[in-house]
Structure 1
Amino acid sequence: MATQHKTKPAPLAPETQVGGYRIVRKVASGGFGVVYLALSPDGQKVAIKEYLPASLVERGPGESSPVVPPDKLALYRLGLKSFFEEGRSLAQISHPSVVSVLNFFRENDTVYMVMNYLEGASLQEFVITARELKRKKIFRESTIRSLFDDILQGLRVVHQHKMLHLDIKPANVFITDDNKPILIDFGAAREVLNQQDKRFRPMYTPGFAAPEMYKREGSFGPWTDIYAIGACIYACMTGYPPYEAPQRLEKDRLQAQLSKLRGVYSDNLIEIVEWCMALDAMARPQSVFNLQRELGAENARRYTNLTMGEKLRLHIDELVNDTKSQVQKVRDVTRFGAPVQAVQSPTPDRGKPADRERN
């Protein structure tokens, strides 16, 4: 039984009919659902998201209904209700920067959400491609500002409908073939299950999840999504995610990281990222409108270069951190009784802190 339990529930087979739609193939799957490419009754391509939490259900190949063990039924139904509510709320939102939910229905003892099928690529793919070009700027500042202005317009409407996204990251910002950004893959059902049951490992994306998401009784609000927006802008400036919140709470190096971008991006854009990513939720913009106003302000943009003294301080700071991590490794090894020589061989790890910083 143990090995069977670890098997992921099987996706619906191609050609399966569900709610009048015909499944073409599985496109993606995660811990909480499966996304399919399907055809509507009139032959239009659509994306269908099926509620299928892998840790709560089983389903064999060729079957359509998930099997839920009795001890997991209450939790399964709670997530199902949340997923259904999410579909209903999203169906009421009509905005070009928010994924369109065309239909949602119950069938096979689960729920399906029918959405526009999008052609294009995720912001994450664009960031990785741009990063590989090794330019000083990952994206131009004007591109960042217009891209996030569009995203924020959509997010503002989401918040006006008393919804939060809770999983904003470059992988969940889809850029269509005509260059329109769209917020996809909302995390509400996932978040409800995370909070209700300790068996669920919270599905947070390191670097993009606000500090309050790591707390069992964290208070979520627009400021939680705004932290993630700041982290996405940071990724568009550096090519990498920022340090994750728990690391920042121990030693916050965000300011030092952003200092390296002085002179490359305007002081104002750097300050906006710091503001959005404040560890204290109340120190962040409290509404999308506050942030939009600042991001779209037509101020003269200052570009302040680092002085030689500041460059030197940053360099020394990095050296100190590098040395500290080496010392910590020695301590960790010796604490468990291993000989010190184990970490005193030539140091292939010397690049690691910087790599981690960038990742």
Structure 2
Amino acid sequence: MASPRSVGFGAEGAADPESVGAYRLESVLGSGGMGVVHLATSPSGMRLAVKVVHAQHAADPEFRARFRQEVSAARRVSGAFTASVVDADPDADRPWMATVHIPGPTLAERVKDSGPLAAAEVRRLGAGLAEALRDIHRAGVVHRDLKPSNVLLAADGPKVIDFGISRPYDSDLRTETGKLIGTPPFMAPEQFQRPREVGPAADVFAMGAVLVHAATGSGPFDSDSPYVVAYQVVHNEPDLGGVPEDLVPVLRLCLAKDPGDRPTPDELMSALRSAAYGSEAQIPTQLFRNPVQVETADGSPSPRRARWIVAALALIGVVGGGVAAVQALPDGTGTVAAPEQRAPARFRPWNVQLAAKGDGNRTAFCSADAAGGALYCAAPGVAVARLDALSGKVLWSVAGGGGQPLSDDLAPVVADGRVLVRAPGGGTLRAYDAGNGKPVWSADVSAYSGVHPAGPTVLLPTTDGHVTALDSTTGKESWRKAALGGPRSQWAVTVDGKGAAFVVTPSADGRSTSVAAVDPATGSVRWQARADGRLRPVAADGKAVFLLATDAAGFTSAVVRLDTATHAVRRIALTAPLDQAQAGVDGDTVYLFGAGGALVAVDSVRGAEKWRLDTGVARASRPVASGGQVYLTGADGRLLAFGAAKGVLAGQTSPRMNNGRYTFTPALPAPLAVGGRVYAASPDGSVFGVDPGDVGSW
């Protein structure tokens, strides 16, 4: 570990502290007019970037207010394309903020050291930045200072940093009269002309300028004089010489003088991602599929939408080799030629609006029966409903739930002809007949920390290690045991629910973890093993228990496989830790998704990562693998499919949550892959089924 060093703060010369909060400062990563950014280490060993404000600014109440706003904005937008905030103290003598350290150069450093990026790199960068802006704007924040030095080129994709002058839509802080906020070569015209009216479109303008810089090494309005730059931004057309030909139409629209003429981040994300992954990627036909979206109230084509559609078609046509033919209509508008008709299949994709439409989270959580013939779903306002898996038809439904958001642990579970549903709040467990939806029994489970169906038995553990077992058919108590686990215990059952249940208990100091195999029928402990580190269970089958090694800060560093026959432990270290990892298992392969957007496949037998992919998805569900594909549900309602062999994007559905600035889903339901079909639920309250054999048509 490097020794901390003291560095003067400008003219004032105040020395750097050796630590802030609980974090030891090691070295300086960079400095600027506002403060110094240090490389630091947390008590658990996590690497952080800690920004410490200059002493002279700490005495300025207005600056403190802006720094407090920066911390708030950064916390609101933490995701796949931003550096997650770990801790902060804007009220300290020297205000500071700690974020996850992201190794990698800034875009400015990369271009300075190695020259412009290749065309494919620019497209991937653009796709990542577009999704970053989409998530930033959905959180109600405008960055206002997107520039090459504020874009980190990490191994898993670009990260947007430094929200020092960002502004939430609902902020009471206003730009001072006559004071320009931003960096002139990357500021939008309205930032010079109407700084109080700057909105999300200004970030799109900045993104266009950043991509020009990435592609050419120069900005679209370069000059040695900031006053000349300002004049060019407001009055002149951008210089796009050297920009790859297919990107020119899109970047020209990003750099439009009128904010209303610029594309949205969603539109950019669709077009640039398709370009980045080539002609095999999902083509963003939603940009031009419906000609009604192009028309204004009086029936004439909207100039903004028409220009954007032309640009999108140009980009897709160049990269994809002409993937769609445009036909002229009698009224002069255009649409895409109808796709070739296919013979009807037995299963056709379906969509059902289960939860009532309305503001806020309406997510449904579902399970499937073993045969794959029915889905059982709960949603706000719907205690449980049975859906026909082939058609999506609701066969029966029970009202309830009080409209509250649900989570994965509240999804209905099918056990021996009963559908078990835990009410929001966890106080009551109800069992319904799976065939007709009639109530069979109920039990008060408020004293228990979880509900774990294991075949014909329902296990109810308490935080002090006591476990009560109920018969899932009758609801009557089968047995009761003490000393099975403890306050930090987690449970896992075999995939088919017929094998052992496993209680996983980390030691108090986190140095080791006990795994005990429990017979669900009797509560007896069949065997017990111990492994190093703080472990949490992912899944279990007849051969192994799969666990993740996770530190106190929530970072997963390894996959652990415990053989249920020999009790041998195999630990497979990840090439880079994953934040808030979720995992699923298919055979001997464990698939992990991290909050940073990475999807990783780990071979638990060979003991190595098979592949690692930047999905470009800010938040997603637990991955589910089946039939050679890995599926994720995104926060915007997309269902994504990746090839399990190499981790290549195979297809994705359209977003379902494009409306609303503050759209946020506390928990995302994992897809279901059963019976040769795939089902997913969206935060808009819908449940849908798709054909995994035709992912390109999603």
The alignment's TM-score, normalised by the length of structure 1, stands at 0.64
Distance across 1 between alignment mates of 2:93 and 2:219:
38
Which of 226, 244, 247 is the matching residue for 1:269? 247
Aligned position for 2:11: 8
CA contact (8 A) 1:38 1:45 kept: yes
Equivalent residue pairs, number: 263
Q: What are the Cα deviations for residues 60-79 of structure 1, in whole angstroms up to 9, with x where unaligned?
A: xxxxxx5x3xxxxxxx3233
Q: How does 1:1-359 map to 2 (within 5 A)?
A: 8-10=11-13, 12-13=15-16, 15=18, 17-52=19-54, 54=56, 57=57, 66=58, 68=59, 76-131=60-115, 138-176=116-154, 178-188=155-165, 195-196=175-176, 202=180, 204-215=182-193, 217-243=195-221, 246-248=230-232, 252-254=236-238, 257-258=239-240, 260-261=241-242, 265-266=244-245, 268-285=246-263, 287-297=264-274, 298=283, 299-301=316-318
Q: What are the Cα deviations for residues 252-294 of structure 1, in whole angstroms up to 9, with x where unaligned?
A: 242xx32x44xx723x410111100112222212x31122233
Q: Once the two structures are aligned, what percentage of the paired residues are identical? A: 28
Aligned position for 1:335: none
Q: Offset of 1:182 from its aligned partner?
A: 0.7
Distance change (3 Å), C-alpha of 1:48 and 1:10: farther
Q: Of the two, which has the highest radius of gyration?
A: 2
Distance across 1 between alignment mates of 2:22 and 2:197:
40
The letter of the residue matching 1:180 is G
CA contact (8 A) 1:80 1:189 kept: no
Distance across 2 between alignment mates of 1:20 and 1:37:
13
Distance across 1 between alignment mates of 2:131 and 2:151:
13
Q: Offset of 1:107 from its aligned partner?
A: 5.0
Q: Offset of 1:45 from its aligned partner?
A: 2.5
CA contact (8 A) 1:13 1:25 kept: no
Q: Offset of 1:104 from its aligned partner?
A: 1.2
CA contact (8 A) 1:98 1:155 kept: no
Distance across 2 between alignment mates of 1:193 and 1:226:
22
Find the residue that maps to 1:240 and give its secondary structure: coil
Distance across 1 between alignment mates of 2:182 and 2:174:
10
Distance change (3 Å), C-alpha of 1:270 and 1:99: same
Distance change (3 Å), C-alpha of 1:281 and 1:181: same
CA contact (8 A) 1:167 1:209 kept: yes
Find the residue that maps to 1:143 and give its secondary structure: helix
Distance across 2 between alignment mates of 1:49 and 1:26:
10
CA contact (8 A) 1:27 1:35 kept: yes
Q: Which runs of 5+ in 2 are unaligned?
A: 1-8, 223-228, 275-282, 284-315, 321-698
Distance across 2 between alignment mates of 1:92 and 1:189:
12
Distance across 1 between alignment mates of 2:218 and 2:30:
23
Q: Offset of 1:302 from its aligned partner?
A: 7.5
Distance change (3 Å), C-alpha of 1:88 and 1:106: same
C-alpha RMSD of the superposition: 3.1
Distance change (3 Å), C-alpha of 1:9 and 1:248: same
Q: What are the Cα deviations for residues 219-263 of structure 1, in whole angstroms up to 9, with x where unaligned?
A: 111101000100011112211112165232575242xx32x44xx
The letter of the residue matching 1:126 is R
Q: Offset of 1:25 from its aligned partner?
A: 3.3
The alignment's TM-score, normalised by the length of structure 2, stands at 0.35
Distance across 1 between alignment mates of 2:44 and 2:192:
45
Q: Offset of 1:129 from its aligned partner?
A: 3.0
Q: Offset of 1:159 from its aligned partner?
A: 0.7
Distance across 1 between alignment mates of 2:139 and 2:50:
23
The letter of the residue matching 1:301 is V
CA contact (8 A) 2:90 2:97 kept: no
Q: Offset of 1:101 from its aligned partner?
A: 0.6
Q: Offset of 1:21 from its aligned partner?
A: 1.7
The letter of the residue matching 2:24 is R
Find the residue that maps to 1:156 and give its secondary structure: helix
Distance change (3 Å), C-alpha of 1:105 and 1:229: same
Q: Which stretch shifts more, 167-176 or 208-217? A: 208-217
Q: Offset of 1:161 from its aligned partner?
A: 0.6
Q: What are the Cα deviations for residues 107-160 of structure 1, in whole angstroms up to 9, with x where unaligned?
A: 5434211111221111112222343xxxxxx33322211122122212211111
Distance change (3 Å), C-alpha of 1:250 and 1:166: closer
Distance across 1 between alignment mates of 2:233 and 2:123:
28
Q: Offset of 1:105 from its aligned partner?
A: 1.7
Distance across 2 between alignment mates of 1:208 and 1:28:
21
Distance across 2 between alignment mates of 1:203 and 1:26:
26
CA contact (8 A) 1:222 1:288 kept: no
Distance change (3 Å), C-alpha of 1:153 and 1:189: closer
Distance change (3 Å), C-alpha of 1:84 and 1:270: same
Find the residue that maps to 1:185 and give its secondary structure: coil
CA contact (8 A) 2:29 2:39 kept: yes
Aligned position for 2:384: none
Find the residue that maps to 1:159 and give its secondary structure: helix
Find the residue that maps to 1:121 and give its secondary structure: coil
Aligned position for 1:333: none
Q: Offset of 1:207 from its aligned partner?
A: 1.5
Find the residue that maps to 1:142 and give its secondary structure: helix
Q: Offset of 1:174 from its aligned partner?
A: 0.5
Distance change (3 Å), C-alpha of 1:193 and 1:49: farther
Distance change (3 Å), C-alpha of 1:300 and 1:48: same
Find the residue that maps to 2:131 and give its secondary structure: helix
Distance change (3 Å), C-alpha of 1:272 and 1:216: closer
Distance across 1 between alignment mates of 2:207 and 2:196:
18
Find the residue that maps to 1:154 and give its secondary structure: helix
